[in-house]
Structure 1
Amino acid sequence: MKTRYSFGGDEHIFVEMDEEMSLDAFFKALTMSKAVRAADIDGVTEVCPANASFQVKFDPDRISPEEMLARLKAFEDEAGTATKRLDTRIIEIPVYYQDPWTHETLMRFRERHQDPSGTDLDYAARINGFDSAAEFITAHHSAPWFVSMVGFVAGLPFLYQLVDRDRQLQVPKYLRPRTDTPKHTVGYGGCFSCIYSVRGAGGYQMFGITPMPIYDPEQSVSYLKDFMVFFRPGDIVKWKPIDRAEFDRITAEVAANRYSPRIREVSFDLDDFKADIDGTNARLMEALHGD
């Protein structure tokens, strides 16, 4: 990896670890961005992490761009020797695949899609070499996912699948974006899955929907009272397929402020993961469901 530094006007520096997403690039970006925050540098007003990069906003009247750049490069040297271990949490997210709401929406926008004759799941299954949408759905939920960034739209997580490169699912975005996407849609674009935190335009393929709110600016949802955004970079997600009855049950529990997501504290070590991917994922699943 060769880190690239770019100035954005007089007040921003963009730091890119690699042009392609990888867990190594993510961990280096996360380590550096955390170090910038912890250093409490006079003049730094914001640090925004992304998939394999981050951006720093600073006041050039308090710290010069050249000094800011030098400080960041020093953090890179430290990040190269830092441990690749993360204390985080694994979260179970219920998903109603092939739901009626995303199906109705995707059918309204078939002229913008690569394959107007089928559904988004049909297309995703075919180009990834699966015989059916059901097989693709199994591949989507069978392994955990890493939240590599939160943003673009408030509260929206980008999720990267914790499997080796040969098993990575990849699906291009729509040829032209839709003007509508249901809130809480589970989507897919490139190598990233996501959850649409609000209703709005979008170009990711639509696979299903979750009844679990992930963004609440009013902070009325029971598990979002401390902070309006549920996800944070480094979270690990396991999709749980549910049917319509379970979707309706969880929706009612959320409305009554009785719903609590299944969350467990875990440690994730990147070197251990690369040495034994399936074994690491099995241990994560055991931690999620063990009581």
Structure 2
Amino acid sequence: MKLRYSFGGDEHLFVECSEEMSLEAFFHTLSITNRVRDAKIRGVTEICPANASFQIKFDPDIIHPDDMLKEVQAIELADQKSEPVIKTRIIEIPVYYNDPWTHETLMRFRERHQDPESTDLEYAARINDYKSVADFIDAHSGAPWIVTMVGFVSGLPFMYQMVERQRQIEVPKYLRPRTDTPKLTVGYGGCFSCIYSVRGAGGYQMFGITPMPIYDPTQTTSYLKDFMVFFKPGDIVKFKPIDRETYDAEVKAVEEGTFAPPIREVSFDLNEFNKDIDGYNAKLEGILNDH
């Protein structure tokens, strides 16, 4: 995989691993940025991995841009010899699909949508050739997702489903963005799912909502006391469909400080995954469910 390097002004090095999203491109991105972090290169102030690229911010008064480029190119050469394996987490995220709050919102903005006569879920199911919304929800929640990038707004994760390319769900964004999206909406745009960390404008299709906060600048949420942002690149997510009763109970548990998302430490091997995708995903889910 040939990398393309360019500078962004005097303080940024931008590196493109691929022009299209793939797990291979993401793994290359994550592996190199992890190595850059571990190398503790003098002058580096920020490392930002993305879906198939990354950017490094540095202080040009401490390290010359050309020297920064040489450092990262040397890390790239070393990384080519490594196995595509990462230590990460698998996390279960509850989702109340087809909830009343995102439904009310999407109905307010139908004139901005490709199909004003249907809901976002109905539209997504139809264009992806699923017979029903229930079948579509089964597909969306049936295989795990990997967090490839966190950002755009604070704490928002972009997630890519871990299935073969021909099984990828694809749904375009709204024709014109909405001016409102409920906090913790599970959205979809292109090949990426996301969770809106805060309420605000947005253009992704809205499928449901999670009771689980993923961003808390006050750090009063029980599982966000150490860091205000829950997700990090490389996290593996398994969505769990829930009903209204469970949603209400888990919102209450969050408020009382007793909610704890199921999390397991895992080692993810991309080569083994590609040999048997469904079998490997089943093993990951088994680890998650092994209490």
TM-score above 0.5? yes
Which residue pairs with 1:213 in the alignment? 213
Which deviates more from structure 2 when the two are superposed, residues 215-224 or residues 258-267?
A: 258-267
Query: Aligned equivalents of 1:195 and 1:158: distance in 2?
Result: 8
Give 3-state SS (helix, strand or coil) of 1:237's partner. strand
Query: Aligned equivalents of 2:123 and 2:223: distance in 1?
Result: 36
Shift of 1:2: 2.4
Shift of 1:194: 0.4
Give 3-state SS (helix, strand or coil) of 1:47's partner. strand
One-letter amino acid matched to 1:49: P
Which residue pairs with 1:127 in the alignment? 127
Query: Aligned equivalents of 1:229 and 1:57: distance in 2?
Result: 20
CA RMSD of aligned residues (A): 0.7
Query: Aligned equivalents of 1:193 and 1:27: distance in 2?
Result: 18
CA distances 1:189-215 after superposition (whole Å, capped 9, x unpaired): 010000000000000000000000000
How many residues align? The count is 291
One-letter amino acid matched to 1:102: T
Which residue pairs with 2:101 in the alignment? 101
List structure 1 runs of 4+ shifted beyond 3 angstroms: none
Shift of 1:141: 0.2
Which deviates more from structure 2 when the two are superposed, residues 149-158 or residues 75-84?
A: 75-84
Which residue pairs with 2:248 in the alignment? 248
- In the alignment, is residue 21 of structure 1 matched against residue 21 of structure 2? yes
Which deviates more from structure 2 when the two are superposed, residues 71-80 or residues 159-168?
A: 71-80
Which residue pairs with 2:229 in the alignment? 229
CA distances 1:36-86 after superposition (whole Å, capped 9, x unpaired): 111111111111111111101111111111111111111111121112111
Structure 2 gaps of 5+ residues are none
Give 3-state SS (helix, strand or coil) of 1:226's partner. coil
Which residue pairs with 2:65 in the alignment? 65
Which residue pairs with 1:192 in the alignment? 192
TM-score between both structures, scaled by the size of structure 1: 0.99
Which residue pairs with 2:45 in the alignment? 45
Give 3-state SS (helix, strand or coil) of 1:148's partner. strand
Give 3-state SS (helix, strand or coil) of 1:88's partner. strand
Which residue pairs with 2:257 in the alignment? 257
Query: Aligned equivalents of 1:71 and 1:86: distance in 2?
Result: 22
Which residue pairs with 1:75 in the alignment? 75
Which residue pairs with 1:5 in the alignment? 5
Which residue pairs with 1:204 in the alignment? 204
Structure 1 gaps of 5+ residues are none
Percent identity, aligned pairs only, is 69
One-letter amino acid matched to 1:139: A
